[in-house]
Each structure stands twice: as structure tokens, then as C-alpha cells.
Amino acid sequence: MLSATFNNVFIESMAVNLPSKRVTSEEIEERLAPLYERLNIPKGTFEKLTGIRSRYFWENGAMPSQVATVAGHKALKEIGFPKKYIKALFSCSITRDYFEPATACLIHHELGLEETAMVTDVSNACLGFMNGIFMMATLIESGTVPAGIVLSGETIYKPIDYCINYILEHEELSRSELLNLLPTLTLGSGAVAYVLAHRDIATNTHRILGGVGRSATRHHNLCNGNGDYYVAQLSGFDPIMTTESSKLVSSAAKLGRKTWKEFSKLFGWTKDDVDHIFCHQVGKQVNGSFYKTIGLDGSKEFTIYQEYGNLASAALPTALVIGAKEKDIKQGDKILLTGFGSGLNSLFLGLEW
């Protein structure tokens, strides 16, 4: 078990940058019409199965660093201390600009942060942003840095476009092969940024109490994608992702049960103590039975996947930003962030608002 408790780390600000190009599940089904007709699949099946009615994409050419930089500028505008205190920057998206340099380097330059800052990418599938928060909080708690910024800019369109074309071009696909491709169509794009700060300079009350992480890497083969560098996609590389969705979700629930048990023991929380839950936004597959397996009350979860789809590493942190505005979260409320990433990894973080 990986665990840590923090006494001095606060979320100073949060911001999102979301695309304007909305693509509905109905539109995707229209592109898949030949498949639907051949297999006699009723229209509306995809949304019924996933609960996702739409997702959003950037205009062609938007780079991960560019969209994350916009979110970063928004977050920096909300901080209550000079920008010079930002001494670390982590870019945590799955999609990255290049093989090298780190996408974080481009963002750091565009944000105009000082040369004394630590700059690096943190990549771990959909769990990257949560890992970034945990690592940044550790740096702040230890006194290594007074504040830092964690960002994610997901620019997911080409994998979906290619997935649809691949399905239509391969009529010989088996049912299981087809089902393993369909989760790709739940993906969407978005960017998010959090500024974390030590209590000595923080002006907000949202404290990060700590977290617990576990790995179940025997499940590393349940979700595999072969291309995340955006410039490679622009030059003609066709990325593809396959996912054994039902096995992935059930395995995540079992891993989450172990993680929650350890988290509950470390922080003394019961499921009744948790006021709000923000989970990775994969779709309707994360349902009541998922939370029953873990041992949590699923009715306390806030979701955005219905409108935005699965925003990969930006999904959970974006849900918290939107939920903080839409939900009646009160000062002192206990918030549980339940992060999961293919591989398989989990990281649960506790917040006190």
C-alpha cells in the first residue's frame, strides 16, 4: 500500500478549458449505420449502454500543451499569491505533443513561470492527474516547493475517427473484437489545471488530507492504446485502442474495495462520513454494483460523463471543478476522489472543503 497524509496542502485554484465542438452519440451512430444495419442494432443502443449522450472535441490542430496552457492561465488568475511561488509544474495528460521534449516544457514556457521550477510529465493512463496531485502534495508537504501547478490537456479525436473507420472497413470483426473497440467511442477532449499551495501562502480552505494507492498490474492487458503523441497523429499515424470493458470495470471495483478499506483505516472515514464522491468518468458502467463492491454509497457520486464523455486523465478533476459549482458543497465537507487508470492502478484522495 502506498499512502501519505498531508497537513499543509491546499487546492488554491482550479480551472477548466473545454472545447466547443459537440458531437452526439447519435451522430456517431449515424457514421456506424452500415454496421447497425448489418447486425440489426437499434439506434440509440450506444447511449443506452453507456449513458453518454455527447462529447466535445477541439478544432483540428489543437495541441495538448496549447489547451492545457489556457486552463493554466485561468487557474493562475485565481491564486492569491505571486506567481513566482509556483516552483513545480506537472503535465499529466495521456495525449502529449511530442515524444520529446516533455509537454510540460511547452506549458511552462507559455505560462511564463520561473526557470527555478521543476518541470516534468507524469503519465499513467487516466490516473495521471491524480498521481500529479499526490506527487505535488508530497513536494509541498515536505517543504521542497511552496506551490505547484498540475495540468492535463487531452486532445482526443483521431483515435475515435480511426476507430469508426476501422470498424466499418473490417466486416469480419468478431463480436468480442467489436465490443473491445466500442469503449474508444466514449472518449472526449478537455483540459484542466489545479494550483496547490502550502498553508503558509494558501488563501483557500480546500485541504488535501492525503491518499492511498494500490496497483493490480496483472490486469495490464485489459486496455491498450498504441499512440499518444499528437504530432504523430497529424502525420498520418492511426492510433487504436482496445478495451475489455466489463473485465476492466469489475477488476477496478475489486481493486477499489482494497483501496477504500485501507483509506478508511488510515483516515478513520466510514462510507457515511463521505459527503461527496468524484470518480473517474467512464460512463454508466460505474454503477450501483460497482460502489457496492467497493463499499461506498454511489448516490453521493457527481458525474459529468453524460455530457462530456470520458475525458481520460482530465475526467475526474474536471468533474470536481464543475461539481464544486453545481453541488451544494459546504466548508468542512469530506470529499473522496476515487481515481482509476488502466494498468490497473487506483489512487483515492481525501479532501476537506
Q: What is the CA radius of gyration of the chain?
A: 20
Whether residue 115 lies in the annotated active site = no
Q: Helices (H) and strands (E) in the chain — how many of each?
A: 13, 14
Residues contacting 183, CB < 8 A, separation 6+: 223, 241, 243, 245, 282
> Which of 249, 279, 268 is CA-nearest to residue 347?
279
**Contact indicator for 309, 188 with CB cutoff of 8 Å:** yes
Whether residue 177 lies in the annotated active site = no
Q: What is the DSSP string of 84-101?
A: GGEEEEEE--SSBS-SSS
**Contact indicator for 58, 278 with CB cutoff of 8 Å:** no
What is the 8-class DSSP label of residue 327?
S
Q: Which of 92, 105, 126, 223 is catalytic?
A: 126
Q: What is the DSSP string of 215-279?
A: E-GGGTTSEEE---BHHHHHTT----EEE-HHHHHHHHHHHHHHHHHHHHHHH---TTT--EEEE
Q: What is the rounded (10 degree) CA torsion for 175, 176, 181, 183? A: 110
Q: Which of 26, 27, 30, 100 is catalytic?
A: 100
**Hey, which residues are catalytic here?**
100, 126
